[in-house]
Copies of this chain bind each other. A is one copy, B any other.
């Protein structure tokens, strides 16, 4: 059982873009930031339901496959679920359609109570108003001995990192400069202490960094 994070950030450290509009819910920068990841065979199959076998293989795809392996529960912030974009819509069911790619219990951190959502394929969204450590304990209880992932966004991940709760942090750095958004690395001086760090580069130019303890 490990607590894991996987995030994509730009070279200047932005994990979340800030130019969302109703028409472009993730923002115009999003495709460039996550392009190498969404191009992988694993992502296309798992998220886009593309079973044609299309998509890139190699280092990026290896990390994409690892992303979905051995996860028993997920924790995410309200923003990642879309509650900042659709705060007043009681029928909002997330970005991922009726069969989300998680396939495990997902705990959404929010101050506003919502009824639990049972989706197809094994994903259940629970909405909880609590601390990182308590959310983690709730997630561990239902993870069946598998890992718990802290999915994002950047602010939630930073809260868990600051609280010393993350065992494995995988960051994929896209070599572009966004110049705006939410920074992953703020106020994390000395985070590397207690972790071993591995870095690896993919032909796409993506730099994969893994902090492991």
CB-based nearest B residue for A209 = B175
Q: How large is the interface on A (under 10, 10 to 19, 20 to 34, 35 or more residues)?
A: 20 to 34
Say yes or no: is A44 at the interface (Cβ < 8 Å to chain B). Answer: no
CB-based nearest B residue for A187 = B179
**A177 partner residues in chain B, CB cutoff 8 A:** 185, 188-192
Say yes or no: is A72 at the interface (Cβ < 8 Å to chain B). Answer: no
Say yes or no: is A180 at the interface (Cβ < 8 Å to chain B). Answer: yes
CB-based nearest B residue for A184 = B12
Q: Which residues of A contact B (CB under 8 A)?
A: 11-13, 173, 175-180, 185-192, 197-201, 205-207, 209
17 interchain pairs, CB-CB under 8 A = A11-B185, A12-B186, A12-B188, A13-B13, A175-B197, A175-B209, A176-B192, A177-B185, A177-B190, A177-B191, A179-B188, A179-B189, A180-B189, A197-B205, A199-B206, A201-B201, A207-B207
